[in-house]
Structure 1
Amino acid sequence: MSSVELNPRPVRVSPLIKFGRWGMLSAGILYGLFHQSRLGKKEAAFREVENKRKAIRDKQLAIEKKLAAEAEMKQLEAMMK
């Protein structure tokens, strides 16, 4: 066994240190809530813009697919003649 003895009684922590720890913990939680709500609003606005862009992009892709299918049908008809 080692010759080092452990202190059996816990050390009393100063009330000022306890208050500081709890204060910093509370401040961190409040900051996190504020920051999360701010980032959430930004993300919601970004999603809204992306959804609008996606709708436009989907319409353009549908038109391009339709034109490509029509062009392919014309090529197949020309091959069959």
Structure 2
Amino acid sequence: MLLSACSSAERGPVIPFFGAYFPSWIACSLIGVFGAVIIRLLFIKAGIDAVMPLRVIVYLFLAIAIGLLSSILLFGR
């Protein structure tokens, strides 16, 4: 009863990759980082990046938001 949460029936989402299993949060964080880089390139091209205050914090939160959104959309968590 005390170890029922450790059963193999409720495993976290994993991604099989060349025979190894990686946790889904790694993929979601990479998607978030790449998404933030793409948005940064678009902001530079549009001229928004030059006038944006606190760029590092904005891009950090964009990466987190994209990572969490990809987690919800891809894995339902």
TM-score interval, normalised by the smaller of the two chains: 0.3 to 0.5
**TM-score normalised to the size of structure 2?**
0.39
User: In terms of Rg, which structure is larger?
Assistant: 1
Greater fraction strand:
2
Q: Which has the higher helix share?
A: 1
* TM-score, length basis structure 1: 0.37
